[in-house]
Structure 1
Amino acid sequence: MELMNQFPQALTIAGIDSDGGGGMPIDLKTMMAMHVYGLSVITTTVAANSYGIIDSHALPIAFIENEFKALTADYQIRACKTGLLDSKALINTVVANYQRHDMGYLVVDPVILAKTGEVLLTPDEIDTLKERLIPLATVITPNYYEAEKLTGMQINDQHQMVVAAQKLRQLGCLNVMIKGRHDQNGEKQDEVSDLLLLESGEQVWLTGPYFQTNRKNGTGDALSAAITAELAKGRSVEQAVRTAKTYVDQTIKNEIIVGHKYGPINNWAGQE
């Protein structure tokens, strides 16, 4: 490998939100904050603001194929991540290119639910995600509700989180991080606990403060992007996840007031 191509490089495969509060813009901001060069395969363009999504447009599969072709012909991608993949054709395209090219570690953020609770994938698309993409993953990072959708079970406590993570491991992925529940039916919440089930079978609980704020847009994207960036730098999965969680906590804790409703996280606050 050429010396000039040694700087850590990571790839995000995701949609691009025009307001910069989610998807690829957050991924690239996060990778920059983690001192990793970020590359992108754009899948969808989204017209959005802090109130919600106004419109979206999926890019042609042939163009997405050419994005993969262009990047893998030049860059040394050490890790990559996926965001929302909202069609079977798109999921299959990502799988085919990951298997065709050396793109290092794979972090799958199985985006199934919107912040409003809307289900973004059909049952058929969820099945394709489970059968084709998740088995290739180094790490998957579902939130509480996405883990329920992927496993078909309810998760009401930490024991059930462990059972769900074990079920997800049975799909073929190596490591599972289930993000803890961020609401308690209106009850006051001081902490949130995430579970990391490692390939070895070890359970690692990551408990941190719960921040009561509506400036959380992009947290799931940033978490998976930070994990990807740390893996690209050669960190272990546990090190990558711990660093990523600390980073995201800082971006939530130190608010940036942008937009009028569901504002974005503050990527500056989490920089190393």
Structure 2
Amino acid sequence: MNKIAQALTIAGSDSGGGAGIQADLKTFQMRKVFGTTAITAITAQNTLGVFDIHPIPLTTIQAQLKAIAEDFNISAFKIGMLGTPEIIECVADSLKQYSFGKMVLDPVMVAKGGAPLLQQNAIQAMRTFLLPMADVLTPNLPEAQALTGIEIVDDNSAEKAARQLQAYGVKTVVIKGGHTNDSNSEICRDWIFTPSTDFVVESERYPTKHTHGTGCTFSACITAELAKGAEVEQAIRTAKEFITAAISHPLGIGQGHGPTNHWSYNK
């Protein structure tokens, strides 16, 4: 039996290499997990912005997932950028046919530079087709607010939003606090709500613009840990340490929102 953990990422391609499929594969590799992919869209982007988006045909997305299912032993997978209601429904239908293990859903909606990566009419499709399937959901504050309609400003409103997401069917909700309006705060707080316990994880807030791909990297690390058999809580804590190291040791690449440092945690 092959004991090498294998994971899958279903997401868009980032030509700048800092987010999307590229960030996921780098994270899988650093966590000693073999990564496979199903690409949902090709984007033309760099640290300055997103300049073009080309959705992949539904039949090609289906074919990628079928190919992975027929030849790999996937024990955890993550979903990132999907973009359209049609792609969301296509992926959800395909997932009903295959066993890919635990599912981590990163509801990617907006690129770091502000470009929309999810059509507005796709939010309801995500609620309907994907949230009920998610073992772990990792929205940032704007994404959690878009999915629930609840403004998150403190612990109480974060819990209210998380309970709403769990009512949609999500098992564990991780609401990332990096977008908090309290930019003067020296601490970045994430709220975690599991079926059995609630807790927070905190880290120092680092003043840097090199944060492109943080959400992708964080959710990919959770996926990698789950693929290796870690419990959900430990996977989240490891991912928090991983992304904190990646943000706090920037590479200084690009003229805009540069990528995080996927090497830093292992060093």
TM-score by length of 2: 0.96
1:114 aligns to what?
111
Q: Aligned letter for 1:241?
A: I
Partners of 1:181 and 1:44 lie apart in 2 by 26
Q: 2:68 aligns with which of 66, 71, 82?
A: 71
- Judge conservation of contact 1:10–1:77 (CA < 8 Å) in 2: yes
1:202-247 deviation line (CA, Å, top 9, x unaligned): 2111011101101110100000000000000000100000000000
Partners of 1:12 and 1:138 lie apart in 2 by 15
The reply on whether 1:57 has 2:69 as its aligned counterpart is: no
Partners of 1:173 and 1:120 lie apart in 2 by 22
2:224 aligns to what?
229
- Judge conservation of contact 2:142–2:179 (CA < 8 Å) in 1: no
2:202 aligns to what?
207
Task: For residue 253 of structure 1, report the CA deviation from its aligned partner.
Answer: 0.6
1:27-50 deviation line (CA, Å, top 9, x unaligned): 000011111001000111111111
Matches within 5 A, 1:83-162: 83-162=80-159
Partners of 1:116 and 1:95 lie apart in 2 by 28
Partners of 2:114 and 2:46 lie apart in 1 by 17
1:40 aligns to what?
37
Segments of structure 2 that go 5 or more residues without pairing to the other structure are none
Query: Sequence identity, in percent?
Result: 38
Partners of 2:116 and 2:53 lie apart in 1 by 16
Task: For residue 184 of structure 1, report the CA deviation from its aligned partner.
Answer: 2.9
2:258 aligns to what?
263
Segments of structure 1 that go 5 or more residues without pairing to the other structure are none
Would you identify which runs of 4 or more consecutive aligned residues in structure 1 move more than 2 Å? 113-124, 181-185
Task: For residue 182 of structure 1, report the CA deviation from its aligned partner.
Answer: 3.1
1:48-84 deviation line (CA, Å, top 9, x unaligned): 1110111121111111111111111000000010011
Partners of 1:93 and 1:59 lie apart in 2 by 11
Task: For residue 135 of structure 1, report the CA deviation from its aligned partner.
Answer: 0.5
Task: For residue 169 of structure 1, report the CA deviation from its aligned partner.
Answer: 0.5
- Judge conservation of contact 1:6–1:76 (CA < 8 Å) in 2: no
2:190 aligns to what?
194
Q: Aligned letter for 1:110?
A: P
Q: 1:172 aligns with which of 163, 169, 172?
A: 169
1:125-145 deviation line (CA, Å, top 9, x unaligned): 100100110110000000011
Task: For residue 261 of structure 1, report the CA deviation from its aligned partner.
Answer: 1.2
**Distance verdict in 2 for CA 1:119–1:154, change over 3 Å:** farther
Q: 2:244 aligns with which of 246, 249, 258?
A: 249
Q: Aligned letter for 2:237?
A: R
Partners of 1:258 and 1:115 lie apart in 2 by 15
Partners of 1:123 and 1:53 lie apart in 2 by 17
1:148-179 deviation line (CA, Å, top 9, x unaligned): 11111111111111111111100001100000
